[in-house]
Amino acid sequence: MNTHAIRAIYRFEMARTFRTITQSIASPVLSTSLYFVVFGAAIGSRMGAIDGVSYGAFIIPGLIMLSLLNESISNASFGIYLPKWSGTIYELLSAPVSYLEALIGYVGAAATKSVMLGVLILITARLFVPYHIEHPLWMLGFLLLTAVTFSLFGFIIGIWADDFQKLQVIPLMVVTPLTFLGGAFYSIGMLPPVWQKIALFNPVVYLISGFRWSFFGQSDVNVGISLAATLGFLALCLGIVWWIFRTGYKLKS
């Protein structure tokens, strides 16, 4: 394992984040803070508790997951797309660096940025609403697993995309709507029975449900099923990445 190559890619990607800290860190934290002000303080104060949890605290896992998914995809997709766009990807492909080492460097950096953002949002939430994490180790586990999984997904999008517009299509048109419809701001148990069944086809429901369980010990879906769904998507992403490297899809042409 070429640890020097992994470290070089990782440090380069992390340095790019700190060069654009306003867009990478400050902007998502500020946007999430506005959600807490509007939904947590203004609207939440007029709503009753959900399963014994105040509405302001109830939306914390959903808001963290909303930012985590988008940032994981964005960080990883831009990280691998920019070398393709500038042509420096060929220097990487000709260097004594294996595909696995490049993957660890890019995905590791993207996941690190996303986890940092998730922790910052968690700290920021304390300024607006009180909350208690019942299962902190499970919370951290779900946070890391989701960050790595969707960083892999973003890596795939970055390789697939032919222009900057395509980088935004899936996060904006697919992931964000699924997150809003996946119980980020409500429990799917509040929906009519028919829509509850339809909501179970939304994969983001399982991510938010498992993450919310780690906070409050209650969820819309069994935590074991949530974990299995996340691991299943991780395995799917790994399979696609293996196929990309095996065939050289959009890397060698």
Q: Can you tell me whether residue 53 is helix, strand or coil? A: strand
The 10s digit of each residue's pLDDT in 105-132 is 999 999 999 999 899 889 888 888 888 8
Give the Cα-Cα-Cα angle 196, 63, 195 (nearest 5 degrees): 10
For residue 41, give the nearest of 60, 64, 62, 67 by alpha carbon: 60
Kindly tell me if the per-residue pLDDT of 145 is higher than 70: yes
Q: Which residues lie below 8 Å from residue 107, measured CB to CB, with a gap of 6+?
A: 76, 148, 151, 152, 155
Cβ atoms of residues 226 and 209 within 8 Å: yes
* Of 32-41, 157-166, 230-239, the least confident: 32-41
The Cβ of residue 241 has, within 10 Å, a number of other Cβ atoms equal to 19
What pLDDT, on the 0 to 100 scale, is given for residue 45? 64
Q: What is the pLDDT of residue 42?
A: 63
How many whole angstroms separate alpha carbon 124 and alpha carbon 213? Answer: 20
Classify residue 1 by burial, with Cβ atoms within 10 Å: 0-12, 13-18, 19+.
exposed
CA dist 84 and 118 (Å) reads: 28
Residue pair 97/5 in contact by the 8 Å Cβ criterion: yes
Higher-scoring residue by pLDDT: 2, 237: 237
**pLDDT category of residue 243 using cuts at 50, 70 and 90:** very high
Q: What is the pLDDT of residue 253?
A: 58
3-class SS of residue 132: coil
**Has residue 148 got a pLDDT over 90?**
yes
Half-sphere exposure of 166 (CA within 13 A, CB side): 13
Sign (positive or negative) of CA dihedral 128, 132, 137, 141? negative
Mean pLDDT of 241-253: 81
Q: Is the pLDDT of residue 17 over 80?
A: no
pLDDT at 224: 93
Q: How confident is the model at residue 241 (pLDDT cuts 50, 70, 90)?
A: very high
pLDDT greater than 70 at residue 43: no
What is the per-residue pLDDT for 65? 92
- pLDDT tens for 182-203 read 888 888 888 888 988 988 899 9
Instruction: Categorize the per-residue pLDDT at 163 as very low, low, confident or very high, splitting at 50, 70 and 90.
Output: confident
pLDDT in tens, 49-61: 777 888 888 888 9
At 245, list the tokens: 């490297």
> Between 86 and 211, where is the model more confident?
211
Q: CA 3 to CA 152: how far, in whole Å?
A: 20
- Coil, helix or strand at residue 192: coil
> How confident is residue 90, by pLDDT bands cut at 50, 70 and 90?
confident
d(CA 232, CA 244): 19
pLDDT at residue 250 is higher than 90: no
CA distances from 57 to 50, 186, 213 (A): 10, 11, 13
Per DSSP, the three-state class of 50 is strand
Residue 163, CB half-sphere, CA atoms under 13 Å: how many? 1
